[in-house]
């Protein structure tokens, strides 16, 4: 969702222009995405503990005019990724690291338009607003990606060939209460439970700002066995913007808010047994951030590094605003 549509006033924008000012930019050329290292998070250096995680480093990403609005990310393996943008683009490539384990940059990047069910690039802005992405594995291999959209709220699958999304969208049936939503605060999060989860293979859908009768965030599970409504407890001042499962089945939820100082965010960890039809999902905050350390954080992914460690990746949506940035932040979950 573009929070500037409904949350950001002119004064906040002017303030954020000062707060989020970044070092000199290195512009990309020939479609290449340039990456400027981020060394500190909350004045900490890579390897230092922040919250319950370890800070590993980050990147400020810049590219051609069509690059931006990154709303979701997922990994196909330890390095190959696919992002979606709210202007209807897939961004696929490889996340490279330095010898010290810090993010270095993106390589082999390809931008390609999302297609509708007829194989035509999505035609109107309100149809292009992709917000989250999850990988579908078959036989242990990445076979497709599942994408959620807001405004024209829906879920669709796209095939993968050699790590790149291709072809026409295939509709995924979702409940009427979701599909009839027509706002930019609708279906913000999609994630698929891993083999170790009690709801293995099920898809979790979390809208950004849809409440149930109890005042909690409404959510829904799609699965062969585990189907039905559940909810996410309200975190005051935050709304959910993405989700991802850890290998052990625990759920991570990224939440974003706006304060007079700019953006704020937090990541909650919810135990696997609390993600089930009828459940109220609650959890503990394992990471938080605000001000110049972050931006409009919308995407969350988990990858397993080649050394076996669990890494948590966050990305931001710059809304194609000059005063915002596309950030990629990487943290490690201690064993």
Q: Name beta bridge partners: 189.
A: 206
- The pLDDT of residue 9 is 30
Using the predicted structure, report yes or no on whether residue 15 has a pLDDT greater than 50: no
The pLDDT of residue 16 is above 70:
no
Residue 27 lies in a domain: no
Angle at 62 between CA 78 and CA 295, to 5 degrees: 80
Residue 281 lies in a domain: yes
125 pLDDT exceeds 90? Answer: no
Question: Residues 22-26: what's their mean pLDDT?
Answer: 31
Total domain count, the chain = 1
271 within some domain? yes
Instruction: Tell me which residue range forms the domain holding 215.
Output: 3-22+35-333
Residue 28 falls inside a structural domain = no
The side-by-side arrangement of strands in the sheet containing 141-149 is: 130-138, 141-149, 154-161, 164-172
CATH code assigned at 188: 2.115.10
* Residue 158 located in a structural domain: yes
Is it the case that residue 21 has pLDDT exceeding 70?
A: no
* Alpha-carbon span 331 to 271, nearest angstrom: 19
Range with lowest mean pLDDT among 21-25, 54-58, 232-236: 21-25
211-260 pLDDT, tens per residue?
A: 999 999 999 999 989 999 999 999 999 999 999 999 999 999 999 999 87
Please check whether residue 162 lies inside any domain of the structure: yes
Residue 30 falls inside a structural domain: no
Residue 155 in any domain: the answer is: yes
């Amino acid at each position: 969702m573009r929070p500037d549509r409904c949350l950001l006033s002119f004064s906040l924008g002017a303030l954020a222009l000062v707060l989020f000012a970044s070092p000199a930019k290195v512009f990309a050329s020939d479609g290449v995405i340039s990456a400027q290292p981020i060394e500190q998070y909350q004045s900490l250096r890579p390897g230092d503990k922040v919250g319950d995680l370890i800070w590993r480093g980050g990147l400020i990403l810049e590219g051609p005019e069509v690059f931006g609005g990154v709303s979701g990310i997922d990994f196909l393996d330890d390095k190959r990724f696919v992002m979606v943008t709210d202007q209807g683009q897939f961004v696929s490539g490889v996340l490279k690291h330095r010898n010290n384990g810090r993010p270095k940059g993106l390589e082999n990047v390809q931008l390609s338009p999302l297609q509708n069910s007829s194989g035509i690039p999505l035609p109107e802005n309100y149809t292009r607003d992709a917000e989250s992405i999850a990988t579908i594995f078959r036989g242990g291999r990445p076979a497709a990606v599942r994408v959620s959209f807001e405004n024209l709220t829906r879920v669709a699958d796209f095939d993968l060939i050699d790590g790149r999304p291709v072809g026409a969208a295939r509709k995924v049936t979702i409940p009427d209460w979701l599909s009839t939503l027509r706002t930019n605060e609708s279906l913000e999060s999609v994630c698929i439970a891993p083999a170790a989860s009690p709801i293995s293979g099920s898809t979790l859908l979390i809208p950004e700002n849809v409440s149930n009768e109890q005042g909690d965030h409404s959510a829904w599970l799609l699965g062969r066995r585990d189907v039905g409504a559940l909810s996410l407890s309200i975190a005051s001042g935050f709304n959910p913007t993405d989700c991802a499962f850890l290998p052990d089945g625990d759920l991570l939820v990224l939440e974003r808010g706006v304060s007079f100082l700019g953006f704020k965010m937090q990541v909650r960890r919810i135990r696997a047994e609390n993600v089930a039809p009828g459940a109220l999902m609650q959890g503990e905050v394992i990471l938080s951030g605000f001000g110049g350390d972050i931006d409009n954080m919308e995407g969350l992914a988990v990858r397993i590094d080649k050394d076996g460690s669990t890494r948590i990746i966050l990305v931001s949506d710059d809304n194609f605003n000059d005063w915002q940035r596309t950030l990629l932040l990487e943290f490690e979950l201690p064993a």
